[in-house]
Amino acid sequence: MDTTQKSYRFCIEPDAAIATLEAALQVVRRLDIELRALRTTATPYGVEVQMRLSAPEEDILTLCRMRLHNLIGVLPIREMPTLVVNNGLRQAAT
């Protein structure tokens, strides 16, 4: 089955950062999206979050982004470019 993957990057305000992160993960879970990767980094202005998601349809990921945007404490969300690896180059390197 083909899936669509997207990576989102956003910051969470320092007030109640853990609760906001939990709410963001609930959005992902409720939409039945696969969380492929999650990275958080503490910064002086809050918590930076990077998450890679996978879903059967792109519309589900778009809805996820809209719902994340509506959470209190989530700053603007940026979609990160997808890296494409050429398997021929990978095999030549080994």
Domain architecture of the chain: domains with CATH: 4-80 (3.30.70.260)
Q: What is the pLDDT of residue 2?
A: 79
The CA dihedral of 63, 64, 69, 74, to the nearest 10 degrees, is 180
Closest CA to 52 of 67, 71, 38: 38
Strand-pairing partners, residue 38, are 51
pTM for the full predicted model: 0.81
The model's pLDDT over 53-89, given as tens digits with 9 standing for 90+, comes to 999 999 999 999 999 999 999 999 999 987 655 555 5
**What count of Cα atoms within 13 Å lies in the side-chain half-sphere of residue 36?**
11
Q: How confident is the model at residue 91 (pLDDT cuts 50, 70, 90)?
A: low
DSSP H helical ranges for the chain: 17-30, 58-69, 87-93
Query: Which pLDDT score is estimated for 52?
Result: 96
**Cα gap 9→80, rounded to integer Å:** 7
pLDDT band at 12 (very low <50, low <70, confident <90, very high): very high
Radius of gyration of the chain (CA): 15
* pLDDT per residue as tens digits for the range 13-63: 999 999 999 999 999 999 999 999 999 999 998 999 999 999 999 999 999
**pLDDT at 8 exceeding the cut of 60:** yes
Backbone angles phi, psi at 37, to 5 degrees: -160, 150
Phi, psi angles (nearest 5°) of residue 93: -75, -20
**pLDDT score of 33:** 97
